[in-house]
């Protein structure tokens, strides 16, 4: 049986080399899409380091 999964793709502006701030932005976005029903959030690979 096939089940549906709601997937979100993150598109965010990262601050170069701001490792403390970028994950905070990512976490805020994750909370937002979770509230909208997403089950998986995909971030760009270098988002944490900018």
Give the model's confidence band at 50: pLDDT under 50 very low, under 70 low, under 90 confident, else very high: confident
Give the model's confidence band at 1: pLDDT under 50 very low, under 70 low, under 90 confident, else very high: confident
Cα–Cα distance, 33 to 48 (Å, whole number)? 18
Residue 37 CA neighbour count, 13 Å, CB half = 3
Cα–Cα distance, 9 to 6 (Å, whole number)? 10
16-40 pLDDT tens trace: 999 999 999 999 999 999 999 999 9
Alpha-carbon Rg for the chain, nearest whole angstrom, is 12
Cα–Cα distance, 26 to 31 (Å, whole number)? 9
How much of the chain, in percent, has pLDDT values that exceed 90? 68
Q: Please report which residue ranges of 1-50 form alpha helices under DSSP H.
A: 21-35
């Amino acid at each position: 049986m096939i089940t549906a999964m709601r997937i979100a793709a993150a598109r965010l502006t990262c601050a170069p080399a701001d490792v403390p701030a970028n994950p905070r932005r990512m976490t805020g976005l994750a909370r937002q899409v979770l509230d909208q029903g997403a089950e998986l959030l995909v971030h760009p690979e270098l988002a944490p380091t900018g």
